[in-house]
């Protein structure tokens, strides 16, 4: 049984302008100890997917349907009491911006201890000792002394380490990291990613890594889900996705990565901007921005289907295999042409 299996997850927000379908029928699963990367542009529904799994969407204005089976237990219709037991204990979360994710008026040690005391029947002193242990595990120097410091006395990278420590404090089975490195500078990013890799080996948690940066998932993920406009457009093991991407949107994402091994005058970009989820395009949601669009794309919504001959690779695009093969070769050569320059 998969550790977490998400089936047909839909999250809709009721706004003054209408219903925003932020997540529209998303399915994926993650095994114990593995890392799943969820990739996509801002606003494609990656974060909302994870917040929905955790039951952290603002309740009144949102509806979530579908299933999120965590060890066989559906979290979507779980009671809020049960969700509180799971949150921070079985599933923990790291957020994007470490500068604002820690409470400025509480000491780091108290914030870590709070996470422990909520789920474990231990004394304050034991919780504090555990907090110090975790700060050491995330390589914060002079950990014991820093327990009494406030968040503003830490740098961004150090604060993200604190967030990671806080997430790992109860040995969660699943760690959801929502763009954990986006707000950090590049050298710090690498440190944090290495640290997460190392801690994953040590703690054995599965990780869902949400990011818009394919470079990040290439480094850490076992499987990748590519999301576009609230839907999954491609899903594959990491090597296969980089070797044989099947969706024009994935090509665009890969093409827009800066590369050092080829001579490119300018970076490739995906033209246009992500569609409004209030009123998404008819047919394939990527069709207004796609260089390979043809009539069928504008009327019919492609379903996620297995790629013939490759296990665990799914894609949602009507293009024929030959075209894909050809474009893929071009992409691998570092010169994706088709209208994206």
Partner 1 sequence: MIRYLIRRLLWAGVLFIAVTIVTYVIFFIIPADPARLAVGQRATPESVARARHFLGLDKPVPVQYALFLKRLVIDRSLGRSFTNRQDVNTVVLNAAPITASVVLGGVILWMAIALPIGILSALRPRSLLDRSSMVFVLIGISAPVVWIGLILQYSIGYKLGWTPNAGYCNLLNGQGGCGGPIDWAYHLILPWTTFAILFAAIYVRMIRANVMDTMNEDYVRTARAKGAPEAQVMRSHVLRNALLPVVTMLGMDIGIALGGAIFTETIFGLPGLGKLAVQSLESFDLPMIEGVVVFSTLCIIIFNLIVDVLYAVIDPRIRLS
Query: Among 87, 130, 161, 324, which residue sits at the site for partner 1 (rule: CB under 8 A)?
Result: 87
Burial category of 318 from C-beta neighbours within 10 Å (exposed 0-12, middle 13-18, buried 19 and up):
middle
Find out whether 208 and 174 touch, Cβ atoms under 8 Å: yes
Residue whose structure tokens are 């970076």: 267
Q: Radius of gyration over alpha carbons of the chain, in Å?
A: 21
Sheet with 314-315, strands from edge to edge, namely 91-94, 174-178, 206-211, 35-39, 223-228, 231-237, 314-315, 305-306
Which alpha helices (DSSP H) does 204-309 contain, by range? 214-220, 238-243, 248-255
What is the spatial distance between Cα 15 and Cα 143, in angstroms, rounded to a whole number? 45
The CB-side HSE value for 15 (13 A sphere, CA atoms) comes to 12
The CB-side HSE value for 35 (13 A sphere, CA atoms) comes to 23
Q: How far is the CB of 81 from partner 1 (least distance, A)?
A: 8
Query: Among 16, 79, 104, 261, which residue sits at the site for partner 1 (rule: CB under 8 A)?
Result: 104
Burial category of 326 from C-beta neighbours within 10 Å (exposed 0-12, middle 13-18, buried 19 and up):
exposed
Binding to partner 1 in span 49-68, by CB under 8 A: 54, 56
Query: Among 163, 164, 217, 238, which residue sits at the site for partner 1 (rule: CB under 8 A)?
Result: 163
Does 93 sit near partner 1 (CB under 8 A)?
Answer: yes
Does 86 sit near partner 1 (CB under 8 A)?
Answer: yes
Write the interaction track for partner 1 spanning residues 111-150; mark x where CB under 8 A is met and - where it is not.
---xx--xx------------------------------x
Q: Which of 80, 60, 68 is nearest to 23 (CA)?
A: 68
Does 175 sit near partner 1 (CB under 8 A)?
Answer: no
Q: How far is the CB of 93 from partner 1 (least distance, A)?
A: 4
Does 162 sit near partner 1 (CB under 8 A)?
Answer: no
Does 186 sit near partner 1 (CB under 8 A)?
Answer: no
Q: How far is the CB of 152 from partner 1 (least distance, A)?
A: 5
Q: Which is nearer to partner 1, 63 or 153 (CB)?
A: 153
Does 181 sit near partner 1 (CB under 8 A)?
Answer: no
Q: How far is the CB of 158 from partner 1 (least distance, A)?
A: 16
Does 177 sit near partner 1 (CB under 8 A)?
Answer: no
What is the spatial distance between Cα 135 and Cα 112, in angstroms, rounded to a whole number? 9
Binding site for partner 1 (CB under 8 A): 54, 56, 84-89, 92-93, 95, 97, 100-107, 114-115, 118-119, 150, 152-153, 163, 166
């Amino acid at each position: 049984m998969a550790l977490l299996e998400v089936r047909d997850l839909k999250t809709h927000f009721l706004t003054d302008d209408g219903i925003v379908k932020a997540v529209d029928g998303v399915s994926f699963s993650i095994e114990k100890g593995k890392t799943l990367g969820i990739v996509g542009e801002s606003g494609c529904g990656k974060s909302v997917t994870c917040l929905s799994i955790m039951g952290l969407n603002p309740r009144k204005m949102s509806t979530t349907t579908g299933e999120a089976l965590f060890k066989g237990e559906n979290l979507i219709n779980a009671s809020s009491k049960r969700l509180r037991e799971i949150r921070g204990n079985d599933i923990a979360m790291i957020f994007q911006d470490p500068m604002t994710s820690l409470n400025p008026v509480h000491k780091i040690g108290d914030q870590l201890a709070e996470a422990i005391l909520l789920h474990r029947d231990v004394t304050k002193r034991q919780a504090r000792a555990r907090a110090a242990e975790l700060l050491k595990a995330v390589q914060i120097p002079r950990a014991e002394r820093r327990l009494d410091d406030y968040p503003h006395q830490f740098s961004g990278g150090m604060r993200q380490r604190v967030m990671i420590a806080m997430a790992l404090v109860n040995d969660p089975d699943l760690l959801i990291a929502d763009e954990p490195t986006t707000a950090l500078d590049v050298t710090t990013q690498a440190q944090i990613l290495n640290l997460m890799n190392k801690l994953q080996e040590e703690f054995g948690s599965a990780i869902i890594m949400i990011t818009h940066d394919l470079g990040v998932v290439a480094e850490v993920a076992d499987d990748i889900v590519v999301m576009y406009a609230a839907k999954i457009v491609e899903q594959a093991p990491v090597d296969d996705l980089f070797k044989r991407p099947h969706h024009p949107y994935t090509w665009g994402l890969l093409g827009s990565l800066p590369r050092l091994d080829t001579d490119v005058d300018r970076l490739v970009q995906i033209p246009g901007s992500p569609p409004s989820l209030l009123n998404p395009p008819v047919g394939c949601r990527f069709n207004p921005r796609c260089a390979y669009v043809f009539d069928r794309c504008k009327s019919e919504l492609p379903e996620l289907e297995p790629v013939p001959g490759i296990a665990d690779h799914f894609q949602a695009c009507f293009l024929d295999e030959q075209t894909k093969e050809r474009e893929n070769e071009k992409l691998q050569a570092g010169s994706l042409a088709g209208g994206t320059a």
